[in-house]
Structure 1
């Protein structure tokens, strides 16, 4: 099946999203061009605009899809620590989505689908933090910062030297053990 035939069967949207994810994974989200994606899909340069209107629309669709994938991944968590681990796993499995989801300057901030997808994910985090912190907002910020920071450093290869061959998931769990232990037994002195 050719790409143009896929388009005639209604698959152009998915083909453009897949091509965009490939470009983002290789070159980052700022390298995207609807014209280039149309060329890759073998369709007219105006065809992607029928589905996404513009680059921000395409990136917003990728973010919405990413939040859906993240929500599905987080549902597997059995504890707050596991929620962080699932977050890191999501980032490692979907690096292109991850790069786009947290770049509001690239997205349509008022898109209803994006707002709903973000809210679903935030609700999962709030629910997981309940009972762990006297201040749920601070608890959410702490948990999210730890998982997001680790995932971001991992994907940008800034942890390579520190990991020194260690499995990133095991390292993240060790990090959370260290943090939780420190919270229970603050250092004196």
Structure 2
């Protein structure tokens, strides 16, 4: 089987790979089904069998991106070792994905928040934070994390890690590596977690 034959028989996957390469090197604006067809060596009409239009291609690209991100975080969260190791691994998985797929990640969240985003896309995009909620709840069950609302804690974690990712991809670290900043952020989170759940502690925080 020649490379051209292989691409034709696996056209959908090939188009998604080529689309991701285009997003990475030239940006979302450079994407077109006609150009992808030329890059794949197929007729201009061939991509329509898999993507009815450019928007359908973008939706599929975003969905595939979230699936990869979810798989990476899931693997870290389900790994061996104590909670701290799994938690740190999950944070690095997110930042690593953001660094390697900066343009794609931007597309993923843009598509997710657009009106008409598919239920499958929204659900898949939610999976990473659900994994984080489950990881924190498991840490609580194991006695590694004090009581608190794991949903709220997961939101704080994601806000922190996303902030790290934005600093890294924006070139704003001034000599600090992505690994160093991620580790520092995780250290801070592990000292600060969880949000106190008793009313007295909440009152102290409010007064402070």
What TM-score results when the alignment is normalised by the length of structure 2?
Answer: 0.72
Q: Does 1:103 align with 2:113?
A: no
Which sections of structure 2, spanning at least 5 residues, go unmatched?
Answer: 78-84, 195-204
Q: Does 1:134 align with 2:148?
A: yes
The one of 184, 187, 191 equivalent to 1:177 is: 187
Give 3-state SS (helix, strand or coil) of 1:126's partner. helix
Could you give the per-residue CA deviations for residues 40-76 of structure 1, whole angstroms, max 9, x where no partner exists? 1122222212111112211221222112211221122
The one of 87, 100, 111 equivalent to 1:93 is: 100
Distance 1:54 1:106, change over 3 A: farther
Whole-angstrom CA distance in 2 between matches of 1:2 and 1:82: 37
Whole-angstrom CA distance in 2 between matches of 1:28 and 1:105: 18
Whole-angstrom CA distance in 1 between matches of 2:166 and 2:19: 20
Give 3-state SS (helix, strand or coil) of 1:102's partner. helix
Whole-angstrom CA distance in 1 between matches of 2:163 and 2:72: 18
Whole-angstrom CA distance in 1 between matches of 2:105 and 2:46: 26
The residue that corresponds to 1:23 in the other structure is 22
Q: How many residues align?
A: 180
The residue that corresponds to 1:146 in the other structure is 160
Q: Does 1:114 align with 2:128?
A: no
What TM-score results when the alignment is normalised by the length of structure 1?
Answer: 0.78
> Is residue 23–residue 29 contact of structure 1 (8 Å, CA) maintained in 2?
yes
Whole-angstrom CA distance in 1 between matches of 2:127 and 2:185: 27
Which sections of structure 1, spanning at least 5 residues, go unmatched?
Answer: none
> Is residue 161–residue 185 contact of structure 2 (8 Å, CA) maintained in 1?
no
Whole-angstrom CA distance in 1 between matches of 2:20 and 2:105: 10
Whole-angstrom CA distance in 2 between matches of 1:142 and 1:23: 33
Cα RMSD (Å): 2.8
Whole-angstrom CA distance in 2 between matches of 1:65 and 1:82: 21
